[in-house]
Amino acid sequence: MKATVITYGCQMNEYDTHLVESQLVSLGADLVDGVDEADFVLINTCAVRGKPVDKVRSLLGDLRKLKASRGLMIGMMGCLAQLDEGQQLARTFEVDVLLGPGSLLDLGAALESNTRFWGLQFRDELHDHIPPAPQGKLQAHLTIMRGCDHHCTYCIVPTTRGPQVSRTPDSILRELDGLLAAGVREVTLLGQNVNAYGIDQGARVAGIPSFAQLLRLVGASGIERVKFTTSHPMNFTEDVAQAMAETPAVCEFVHLPVQSGSDAVLRRMAREYTRDAYLQHIRHIRRHMPDAVLATDIIVGFPGETEEDFQQTLDLYDEVGYDSAYMFIYSPRPGTPSYRHFADLPREVKTERLQRLIVKQKEWSQRRNAARVGTLQNVLIRGDAHDSGFLEGHTRGNHPVVIPKALGADGPGIYPVRIEHATPHMLYGHVVDAAGQPLPARPQLAPEAAAVSSPLAML
């Protein structure tokens, strides 16, 4: 069987895709890149917002035509598969295999039966299942817990992924050992609420360390760079910032979603913290890591948000001075309390506010990135950029970086890069030697040619 997996959504979904791809290979399937070559197409779905659901619906329509014409087998997994909405789509579009986020280890049984399989029950074994390490990659994700015990009124995750369950540190470190052996140099610890690790259903789990302690354990493993996502402000404690500052491998990057700067909106979201409490976390981070890179999530146009509420969000953005932000228009999701109980705002109001927030974000991102011009950054180069004459990567602070391929970097690796130019969303630079001097151009691309084709020349 030739199989392909199409992934929508978050890094947790990317991790789950790797898990099921490894299962497919162990079952004897050949992984192919596209639908045209595949006998089995598995869609890993997201249900957090309406847009990825619309994309899945459109894709299923196309796949059903191929199913009729050449017998294609269709599968659907992930958050949408756990919901009534997803199960109705599966019936409508004749999906053969349906797996919820907790039933991914049932994929083999589903394929073997060759009948529609509604595998939506949670399996405890999933938490201790260690997928094989990705080969030929310098960075990898590592799930340390699944599910979430918070119940934000806009969020479908507690319904789709269930209550929080933390993996044991032994299981996590064994997976990390495999990643190190495969050559991974940067790992991102994943969880719906990663800094609540070890506090399942409100209680500390016996034998499981705090998240701050886990950061120290992972940082002492020999891995060069450690990141984590996503944090909930309710569970962000000062000892996490202290552990980050005292563990060299842990990168000085914090993604701490605020969602809104208005206490009234935060209450309707059931976020369990206030604006002042959030800002206290920022002060703790800055105290221990003055140069920390801060990112956030913001939902624009939550039901009941007034112009004054939105202005408080803009003011908070200025007070924190984020390096970057993921910004979303509120998307009502069936099954959530906000969908059932709150009236949505007009689309044009939400769109106009989002545009103002984007302007604010670009201003701050430009300011933060411009301050890095002239600095030396350790950049993990992943591979070719869109322009084949250049390579792309990211700093310890998650800033995207582009460098000329002909000036110092042979390919994937971690390089010292002098930043020479910045835009709101990109840094540009050159690899330097131990003395901080630019490396000479290789014969195949003269400096003049590099300058002509450089992305800098297009700005």
**Counts for the chain of helices (H) and strands (E), in that order:** 15, 21
Q: Which residues does 35 contact at the CB level (< 8 Å), separation at least 6?
A: 4, 6, 41, 63, 66, 72
Alpha-carbon distance values, 29 to 104, 106, 135, 245 (Å):
16, 16, 18, 45
Tell me how far apart the alpha carbons of residues 255 and 381 are, in angstroms, rounded to a whole number.
Answer: 21
10 is in an annotated binding site: yes
Is 251 marked within a binding site? Answer: no
Residue (of 223, 230, 282) closest to 250 by Cα position: 223
Q: How many CB atoms lie within 10 A of CB 340?
A: 10
Q: Is 79 labelled a binding residue?
A: yes
CA separation for the pair 375, 24 (Å, rounded): 45
Report residue 235 as tokens.
Answer: 């569970």
DSSP codes, 147-193: --S---TT--HHHHH-S-EEPPHHHHHHHHHHHHHTT--EEEEE-TT
- Buried b / exposed e along 174-212 (16+ C-beta atoms within 10 A): ebbebbbeeebbbbbbbbbbbbbbbbbeeeebeebbbbb
Q: Is the peptide bond before 188 cis (omega within 30 degrees of 0)?
A: no
Kindly report the length of the chain: 459
d(CA 245, CA 236): 15
Residue 148 assigned ligand-binding role: yes
From residue 200, alpha-carbon distances to 96, 196, 208, 209 in Å are: 34, 8, 10, 12
Tokens 């201790």 correspond to: 128
Please count the other Cβ atoms lying within 10 Å of the Cβ belonging to residue 107.
21
Q: Which amino acid is located at 199 in the chain? A: I
Cα(306)–Cα(382) distance, rounded to whole angstroms?
Answer: 43
86, 48 in Cβ contact below 8 A?
no
Annotated binding site for [4Fe-4S] cluster: 10, 46, 79, 148, 152, 155
Annotated binding site: 10, 46, 79, 148, 152, 155
